[in-house]
Amino acid sequence: MKIIESTPENLERAGEVIRNGGLVVMPTETVYGLAADALDAKAVEKIYAAKGRPASNPLIVHVADWGTVEEIAYPTDLAKRLADKFWPGPLTLVLAKKPVVPKETTAGLDSVAVRMPAHPVAQGLIKAAGRPLAAPSANAFTRLSPTRAEDVGDLLGVELILQGGPCEVGIESTVVDCRREEPIVLRPGQISLEQLQAVVPTTRSGAASEKVRAPGHHSRHYAPRTTIRMALRIGSEETGLTFQSPQNSRQIQMPVDPAGYAAELYHALHALDEVGAEYLVVEEPPREPGWDAIWDRLTRATS
Ligand code: TXA
Ligand code: MG
């Protein structure tokens, strides 16, 4: 792996890689992303090749200022209200796209997903490159998203991995389609439906309806290589995630609050994936509001 410290010099170097059409792994506050120039179709094609990602799965474009949003998309008033409240941060807004965004970036859709990440290294890379950055999570297709630079696996054609420490949020951003008066949550994340409704009361969840599910949001996703199942309690000899004191060295005790749990989840599963267990057990988290995004990821990981 080519992990480098995110010094100003290295950010300049990484920005040049992006301008030359190359791939850089960057930290964000949610998960590490595999970044390329979002407006360069050839560069974006390298992302799909590196991940083995189907061409039907659109990418999120990362920006460092509102002006860039207006250059690449047609923001609605309510999108602006959500951005004012939650950006920079773990919220992605789906907007009608402008022609400058190549079809490779949006998988042929006439919409584009935009996010302003809060992580200073992500912001630094966007500024150093001087380009909006298309960046999916830096994992092979259907595998676990990395939340540590060390968890980024081998990805074809990646020139650099920027060190940014552990991701604070730990699960992917909330994705909201903002093109109509009723914003629709396409992917749950740390920013909850209730928080969105406090800003735009007409916001609703899209999870119940297949039709409005996010494209590329496959039911089997976010999975370790080892088979994984859910249980109320983990057995004393089993390997997995627990809320109790661990009963053996292959059990990891998870935080009992959803934010703490999310921050640890992928790294814990990455670690347990290495122990060579026959299967992993994840104890069911509470069925309470605040745990929706965690349930979403665990359901996909175990499907
Ligand atoms: O937190 C995150 O969002 C991370 C970091 C790196 O920013 N990125 C991320 O990207 O999770 P990715 O590629 O793993 O997920 C992108 C998802 C797509 O699978 C799709 O569900 C949704 O975002 N998406 C992207 N463009 C869309 C569009 N035009 N319309 C609807 N959904 C879209
Ligand atoms: Mg992903």
Q: Whose CA is nearest to atom 31 of ligand 1?
A: 214
- The whole-number average pLDDT for the span 77-83 is 98
Q: Please, which residues have CB within 8 angstroms of residue 210's CB and are 6 or more apart in sequence? A: none
Mutation pick for ligand 1 pocket among 51, 56, 98, 172 (CB with most ligand atoms within 8 Å): 172
pLDDT in tens, 232-280: 999 999 999 999 999 999 999 999 999 999 999 999 999 999 899 999 9
Ligand 1, CB within 6 Å, residue ranges? 28, 30-31, 33, 57-60, 90, 92, 94, 106, 109, 111-113, 115, 117, 135-137, 172-173, 175, 186-187, 214-217
* Residue 37 predicted with pLDDT over 90: yes
CA–centroid distance, 137 to ligand 2, in Å, is 4
Nearest CA to 90 among 45, 46, 33, 12? 33
143 CB-side CA count, 13 A:
21
* Residue 19 predicted with pLDDT over 50: yes
d(CA 278, CA 259): 29
Q: Which residue has the tokens 């190359």?
A: 22
Whole-number pLDDT of residue 212: 45
State the average pLDDT for the chain.
Answer: 94
Backbone torsions φ then ψ of 68, nearest 5 degrees: -65, -35
* Residue 225 predicted with pLDDT over 90: no
CA–centroid distance, 59 to ligand 1, in Å, is 5
DSSP string of the chain, one letter each residue: --EE---HHHHHHHHHHHHTT-EEEE--SSS-EEEEETT-HHHHHHHHHHHT--TTSPPEEE-SSHHHHHHHEE--HHHHHHHHHH-SSSEEEEEEEPTTS-TTTTTT-SEEEEE----HHHHHHHHHHTS-EE--BSS-TTBPPPSSGGG----TTEEEEE---S-SS-SPPEEEE-SSSS-EEEE--SS-HHHHHHHSTT-EE-TT-GGGSPTT--SS-SB-SSEEEEESS--TT--EEESS--SSTTEEEPPSSHHHHHHHHHHHHHHHHTTT-SEEEEEPPPSSTT-HHHHHHHHHHH-
Nearest CA to 105 among 20, 161, 181, 39? 39
CA–centroid distance, 57 to ligand 1, in Å, is 8
Contact 189/296 with Cβ under 8 angstroms? no
pLDDT in tens, 118-136: 999 999 999 999 999 999 9
* Threshold 0.85, pTM exceeds: yes
What strands, in cross-sheet order, belong to the sheet with 240-242?
227-231, 279-283, 240-242, 251-253
Q: Please, which residues have CB within 8 angstroms of residue 270's CB and are 6 or more apart in sequence? A: 144, 146, 148, 151, 224
Q: How confident is the model at residue 210 (pLDDT cuts 50, 70, 90)?
A: very low
